[in-house]
């Protein structure tokens, strides 16, 4: 069985504005997730089903972490799909596949503190800078943490997610080796697009939103 899409990372400079925009577009108020210590970010979530969700992620003003995602997202002039996360359990094997493709990665534990003060923990595998950029998937293993798709604001679902890329054949080959079933088509410029079914109708989010 292929390693499934776990969630989409929709990044921007201001989480409150992103949450308000999502509610206007989709008719659903996303719920606050929490802060990510050491990553310089905080997030809000909306479920796309029991095992998939939409993550709005932005800088956390209480953290100053040079070189972090939080520092990067401060530079965004508008929100966009930043990347996508694939769910897997054997992250060491995924790292080995990436290494064989010439892509180094970092495997580490991560966490966030919920507004209620609970600490949720998981494992991440994050590829380093590479020629295919954020179109190479990131991986997550939730270990014994309840999946956010079950606990986040409900009402939307994912119709489909696809990638366009000038090096579609190369990316498609890598995804096959990683056992990731995400559609990739040839495109003049790299792009990601997700179509959501929401109470407000069809909503399209992409890497240029």
CATH of the domain at 69: 3.10.180.10
| pLDDT confidence band for 208 (50 / 70 / 90) | confident
Note whether 57 and 10 are within 8 A (CB).
Answer: yes
In a domain, 10, yes or no: yes
In a domain, 168, yes or no: no
In a domain, 29, yes or no: yes
With a CB cutoff of 8 Å and minimum separation 6, the contacts of 162 are 182, 183, 184, 185, 192, 193
In a domain, 175, yes or no: no
In a domain, 201, yes or no: no
In a domain, 100, yes or no: yes
Encoding tokens for residue 76? 């965004």
The secondary element (H helix, E strand) that includes residue 206 is: strand 201-206
Domain hosting 46: range is: 5-154
In a domain, 79, yes or no: yes
Per-residue model confidence as pLDDT tens digits over 156-200: 999 999 999 999 999 999 999 999 999 999 999 999 999 999 999
User: What strands lie across the sheet with 191-198, from one edge to the other?
Assistant: 183-186, 157-165, 191-198, 201-206
Q: Is the pTM of this model over 0.85?
A: yes
Alpha helices in the chain (DSSP H): 15-26, 69-73, 91-100, 148-151, 168-177
In a domain, 93, yes or no: yes
Alpha-carbon distance of 62 to 136, in angstroms, equals: 30
Note whether 4 and 175 are within 8 A (CB).
Answer: no
Total domains in the chain come to 1
User: pLDDT over 90 for what percent of the chain?
Assistant: 87
Q: What SS3 class is residue 98? A: helix
């Amino acid at each position: 069985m292929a390693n499934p899409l776990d969630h989409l990372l929709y990044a921007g400079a201001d989480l409150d504005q992103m949450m308000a925009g999502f509610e206007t577009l989709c008719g659903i108020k996303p719920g606050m997730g929490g802060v990510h210590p050491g990553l310089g970010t905080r997030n809000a979530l909306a479920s796309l089903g029991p095992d998939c969700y939409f993550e709005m992620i932005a800088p956390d003003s209480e953290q100053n972490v040079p070189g972090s995602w939080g520092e990067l997202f401060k530079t965004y002039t508008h929100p966009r799909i930043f990347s996508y996360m694939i769910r897997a359990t054997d992250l060491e094997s995924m790292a080995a596949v990436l290494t064989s493709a010439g892509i180094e990665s970092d495997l580490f534990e991560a966490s966030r503190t919920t507004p209620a003060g609970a600490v949720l923990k998981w494992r991440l595998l994050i590829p380093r800078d590479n020629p295919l950029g954020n179109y190479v998937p990131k991986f997550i293993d939730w270990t014994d943490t309840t999946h956010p798709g079950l606990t986040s604001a409900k009402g939307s679902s994912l119709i489909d997610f696809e990638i366009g890329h000038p090096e579609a054949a190369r990316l498609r080959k890598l995804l096959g080796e990683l056992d990731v079933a995400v559609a990739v088509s040839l495109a003049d410029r790299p792009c990601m697009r997700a179509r959501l079914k929401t109470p407000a109708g069809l909503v399209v989010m992409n890497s240029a939103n």
